[in-house]
Structure 1
């Protein structure tokens, strides 16, 4: 019997450690017989003492011996089903497919019993193994008598048949039922759509389709050219060696392809039906997967899952972008429902010839959360890059989908005379607008369109998510471009970014270095041309080389010039570039030489920290009470510079606990250190390239600034422990961090431009706002507030502030700055505040 693709992982045979599986067969059977003689019935504990449970993990070569043990139980207690039950459960426990002959022996053993106790006998597990082996094909004729006997034993086993028993009886009957469609599980989705599409066909055509689906349900790969045998000692080598080993296995897995014989049979059956009809029906079924209401039909083993796997592999060399897109959306559904079909979906996307396969894999990667899922998708993308002969960075550029946008940030589509328009708004908001046939706006989805074009409407809504993911991905890659040492030719840069209908929304608002004729000029794309900081046009040559401009490489005069240019032209950058914080080595760091204490001794919320670190490309362990916390460093690798950075942190014990009991709520920050990428050699800080140092220290400053408990305005009311309260006070109103100091300088430049300028002033750490009732001090680091004259804390929760001030900001992404400005506008007009919780604090 050929196994399914999803059961063909990396071809590795692990040798069991000798200390566990060294009991000879004769000795094992002697032990078991002794236990059977001494016990009234072999309990699980007794069987474990015999060594039975050890042999259960030993692989397929132990199954026959275990069935022998089960038969001995049958001989010793002919009237007791419990002994037999325990042995059989030990034999078939787990998901490893049993050999057909051993499975046949088990069925014979079960049906030889005069009656079955379903509360003890693992009939359900045996049926699962049979379903796994034979998939869509009915059982061979020589199995029918045994299966009918099993059905007859189950049927009278309970006077009142529960829903579970009725379902089991139906599954047993289905094993010998030749009707394919009858055995599909209802799923409120693609399988129901398949059944509806095929039941209306004539008998001959429906029979051809059922034969094709039966073939799809047993897809199998070409046998591997090589197998590996790995012992315990090999797997206890260096972690990096193990990582390389499993990476090699993943690549081998991704390169597997369906067996030639299976493909030839598939091609023959598809031609019998009609190639166009098959492609049309397959696409419709794949597009219906995300609407499946019962995801267990593709997460647990079932006929549905087997057929769907075959449908995926039937297009493994397809050049149709619609097929690749449908597989991608189905992959997202599988990913979210933890279906094993995610693996073949990624395999197929790696093999297809569709040009949008990299775009689809990138979108799938943006939706993945588990590291094992991300690793699989990343390897698939890497193999595509290798096959196309391009770098990973170039593949990332090509993988940015245009989502069929025909102009910058805009796409239109006509359905039943109505026009659907997708428009990207500031802040990466994507709106779906409808217009009537006469051009007037339509407030909601037209009923006619909803009725006649449900698939197209679903696709438009999916496009909104895709565009948002594209913008987020492009923003991160552009922001990371200097760290990744990216550069482009002028032609590729214009095609992939400036003229890209989605990514161009970001790229046109950034400053770029243009290197040509031996000179480097900083320029920005404005009003359909490139201009420098003095508004002089920069003509781009074909041989120009383009990199992203970074302030660490610019003079102070140039930085200020670009900051003023942004204000003068009221252009908002997608992230801080001209106003980006710069971090250089301090004297204290030169003294410590190999580590920085700049961001040590902060208390951070662990869940917020790990989530934010993930978005910035870091990996952080989850610390809890359950282990020794040996690995307490967040890490990020920078392979382009041959470096790795560690941000050390430890658990912080408080009286507060995670309500879900999943780990520590808070962490305390410690050193920042740099290492060589390979190995554990520490790199002195003065040897770290300035661009690497500033960007990674900026990340750490961001982690502390966003995740510090000092940002919680209510902490003073419930914070446990004097240490935590002292920290909260110091952070809330103490010395400013590097990023806060630069925020203060920006505010000093911005405030004179605002209508509340005459009510604002500054001291070292505070923006001072004069209201009509009181004067207030807003800390520029934490945004917490003190009221004068007694400097009492004034609690205003940011989510309760209405951001109704009309203030131009030359960059996106600084939430703390927005909160400070919102509070300043609110308090400058304190007589108009109507929130009773704030009014009581002000008037008290």
Structure 2
């Protein structure tokens, strides 16, 4: 505290300007304490309730509080402080922090019902008009709120009118260059103050495409329903703030009841799904849409929750140079899902959005709400997530059949996607949607296609959750696992394709779920007790013989695991890492494509912000709360090798991987739990394998003779990493089953292909191709997967490069039939 008193120039004998005004002195005390508590810890906001000076202000009489508010908003305290510094001519005093604290004090007090006179308000409005910005560092919103309270329905006096007109004119001028929603709101509020009659005029629906479509739908209804809808639209248009009160929702719920909940839901689902968000041309009905979204909490069905979630995700998509498409609507969607705590789909969608939305504050709000719901139900958040997944009407085998006219539509949950199939009433399959269904059942067909898309998304989230259970250290008691995984219609097929590790008392064994029960490697049926612990099996804790046996078992049964499990790469500490001690250089000195790197970081649960030609340096991090560990993978932007239109560096160079404990102490590599080390290094290996410039066939200026040529040569055709070794083993098993097997040969680092024109080596790690003899690089950009490889069985999902390598092999075997001019020019 003394340090801040010194630098801020506090004078214990009185105010900085020598006055002894009690309000002035109390305001100074607040600012000094505010800065001492928070400004030194940037990004750590101060809680006013914890401040002694704020408690004294709140305990004072309203007139005293009003005096402090006026001094703060008119910048009298900061002006005196700057004056006390006696700057030399041309010298600038950094008053930003002081004025921020001053504005915080004034704006917060302004929201209280203080006894301001119209003369005081006029003075404040004039003060706001003098500020450079209408949005930043300007208390105009708080001042307008106080003015509205003081005036009520009365018109302003002549002097206040003049001041308000001045602010309105400035607003209009600023809107010519930046027509933001904040400025539009300020302008509207001022116009209502200047003409109180506006408040009492009849409600006018906003214009725009969204409202036009809604009115067209309403026009087709009966007079009674149309009147009910118009009353609801007027109510929704009055939605204020960032979240609705329970009273507001209840009153809106009464209007929905009058309309009919089914009528409301039918149109709302259609409107929400048809809402298009264009941040460059905001829809005038955005506030009304927000209100309607809030009101859907009164009809918490699965279909409504899914529609709200889709809209929310779309709203938070970032647009270059703008940001989120609509934070307002996105926030409304999240708030609405939070107001459906009894709906499993809503909770499941909140979990999904928590992982998809890129704004930390929104993710934090969702997590807080999930924690509150979980606490109320007496479970953990993880258990809440498990229990919240609905069955969506699917049967025990993951199948849903719907009849549309004379045809049956069957949705099967297969692996990581939902598959739709058609058949007539006699069971004869149809390859495409029957023409009669397209013509006579359009709404039902739209709903069906939407469900297929939604279920593919649901499966993807379940797969991610299961794979994350390794680092989340998840385990289930057998009874819960049986109910929520093995017997759950949505998770059933996923569960059956994975190997599980069961500990029952002192006995432990690995099992695979089958139709007849849980079976171990020997085919023996295992019947655990209800309290037995179940968790995902990991190859790290098995010997090579057992791992190979499980791989063979998976392939023998023709199972496709949703992620690599039996074939999962295992990473152990090397001698080099034991020598370095607190860091690993295993994946250092790579050149990575930054945008792809960031996307992959987000997909794998790492935190990273794009680096550019500003002070944007940061380190990719991942926190592992279950083990009390955090990990960093150091990267540095390559500033002189290209940037995007927004100044973002295109490439990164990689460095060390470091681990630290929850106390932020560096950990020795050997002290990191083996499972954590293996999974983290697998992530980092994936980052390098996918984003390295060396495996990008489009990187035309960076090949063998381009930039980073030495690195490109070393990585593009270098030693195989763990992922590449697994890929090589799987291709070696597949080759004998291929029609072109006699033209292929497995070598150390390459798949050798005998074409009719040349011989080729395809690298198992990068997928790059060298023509032999001569070691000439051949660039082939992957296209659609050829028919020859579509039926190739793989025991796991997710390795697209394996399929690309096989695709290239099929093309190169018949290199005399290649017609692509880009490839032909290289073959000559």
Calculate the TM-score normalised by the size of structure 1. 0.74
1:368 corresponds to which residue?
A: 357
The question of 1:554 aligning with 2:542 is answered yes
SS of the aligned residue for 1:824 comes to: helix
Q: Which runs of 5+ in 1 are unaligned?
A: 1-9, 33-47, 75-81, 149-171, 222-252
RMSD: 4.7
From 338, 342, 347, the counterpart of 1:350? 338
1:273-305: CA deviation from partner (whole Å, max 9, x where unpaired): 683744234323431332455657999797762
From 808, 812, 825, the counterpart of 2:797? 812
1:421 corresponds to which residue?
A: 410
The question of 1:258 aligning with 2:246 is answered yes
The question of 1:196 aligning with 2:218 is answered yes
5 Å matches for 1:622-701? 622-627=610-615, 629=617, 631=618, 633-658=619-644, 660-677=645-662, 679-701=663-685
1:467 corresponds to which residue?
A: 455
Distance 1:185 1:344 in 2: 21
From 70, 73, 98, the counterpart of 2:145? 98
Deviation for aligned residue 1:833: 3.4
SS of the aligned residue for 2:503 comes to: strand
SS of the aligned residue for 1:787 comes to: strand
2:468 corresponds to which residue?
A: 480
1:248-293: CA deviation from partner (whole Å, max 9, x where unpaired): xxxxx99x9525xx577667xx2xx683744234323431332455
Q: Is the 8 A contact 1:599 1:704 kept in 2?
A: yes
From 96, 107, 121, the counterpart of 1:59? 107
The question of 1:703 aligning with 2:699 is answered no
1:186-218: CA deviation from partner (whole Å, max 9, x where unpaired): 44369825982698435xx87777666666665
More displaced 10-residue stretch of structure 1: 485-494 or 679-688: 485-494
Distance 2:627 2:78 in 1: 63
Q: Is the 8 A contact 2:592 2:654 kept in 1?
A: yes
5 Å matches for 1:354-753? 354-365=343-354, 367-425=356-414, 428-435=416-423, 456-516=444-504, 518-627=506-615, 629=617, 631=618, 633-658=619-644, 660-677=645-662, 679-715=663-699, 717-718=701-702, 724-753=708-737
The 1:519/1:183 distance shift into structure 2, 3 A limit, reads same
5 Å matches for 1:208-287? 258-259=246-247, 270=254, 275=257, 277-287=259-269
5 Å matches for 1:2-81? 58-59=106-107, 67-69=121-123
1:799 corresponds to which residue?
A: 783
Q: Is the 8 A contact 2:344 2:389 kept in 1?
A: no
1:516-541: CA deviation from partner (whole Å, max 9, x where unpaired): 35322222123443322233333444
More displaced 10-residue stretch of structure 1: 563-572 or 638-647: 563-572
The 1:655/1:514 distance shift into structure 2, 3 A limit, reads closer
Deviation for aligned residue 1:333: 5.0
SS of the aligned residue for 1:798 comes to: coil
The 1:551/1:176 distance shift into structure 2, 3 A limit, reads same
Distance 2:537 2:73 in 1: 71
1:229-249: CA deviation from partner (whole Å, max 9, x where unpaired): xxxxxxxxxxxxxxxxxxxxx
The question of 1:290 aligning with 2:253 is answered no
The 1:369/1:453 distance shift into structure 2, 3 A limit, reads farther
SS of the aligned residue for 2:526 comes to: coil
The 1:96/1:432 distance shift into structure 2, 3 A limit, reads farther
1:442-472: CA deviation from partner (whole Å, max 9, x where unpaired): 6666677667765544432332232121111
Deviation for aligned residue 1:561: 0.7
Q: Is the 8 A contact 2:592 2:651 kept in 1?
A: yes
5 Å matches for 1:74-223? 98-99=145-146, 100-101=148-149, 122=172, 128-129=185-186, 146=195, 175-178=199-202, 180=203, 182-188=204-210, 192-193=214-215, 196=218, 200-202=222-224
Q: Is the 8 A contact 2:639 2:649 kept in 1?
A: yes
Higher RCO structure (Cα 8 Å, ≥6 apart): 1
1:235 corresponds to which residue?
A: none
SS of the aligned residue for 1:405 comes to: coil
Distance 1:87 1:714 in 2: 47
Distance 2:779 2:438 in 1: 48
More displaced 10-residue stretch of structure 1: 739-748 or 681-690: 739-748
Deviation for aligned residue 1:618: 0.7
The 1:209/1:711 distance shift into structure 2, 3 A limit, reads closer
Distance 2:212 2:382 in 1: 37
1:308-342: CA deviation from partner (whole Å, max 9, x where unpaired): 437625746x6654554454345445445424244
SS of the aligned residue for 2:688 comes to: helix
Distance 2:693 2:716 in 1: 9
The 1:96/1:409 distance shift into structure 2, 3 A limit, reads farther
Deviation for aligned residue 1:433: 4.1
1:140-192: CA deviation from partner (whole Å, max 9, x where unpaired): xxx7x9356xxxxxxxxxxxxxxxxxxxxxxx6xx4422x4x33444436982
Q: Is the 8 A contact 1:759 1:770 kept in 2?
A: yes
The question of 1:328 aligning with 2:376 is answered no
The 1:339/1:435 distance shift into structure 2, 3 A limit, reads farther
Distance 1:84 1:628 in 2: 30
SS of the aligned residue for 1:566 comes to: helix
SS of the aligned residue for 1:500 comes to: coil
SS of the aligned residue for 1:621 comes to: coil
Distance 2:283 2:486 in 1: 47
The 1:670/1:416 distance shift into structure 2, 3 A limit, reads same
1:237 corresponds to which residue?
A: none
Distance 1:422 1:97 in 2: 56
The 1:419/1:93 distance shift into structure 2, 3 A limit, reads farther
SS of the aligned residue for 2:770 comes to: strand
Deviation for aligned residue 1:572: 2.1
1:234 corresponds to which residue?
A: none
The 1:719/1:792 distance shift into structure 2, 3 A limit, reads closer
Distance 1:133 1:22 in 2: 20
Q: Is the 8 A contact 1:191 1:304 kept in 2?
A: no
Distance 2:336 2:735 in 1: 56
The 1:113/1:784 distance shift into structure 2, 3 A limit, reads closer
Aligned residues: 729
Distance 2:138 2:675 in 1: 59
Calculate the TM-score normalised by the size of structure 2. 0.75
1:701-722: CA deviation from partner (whole Å, max 9, x where unpaired): 0100111010022436456997
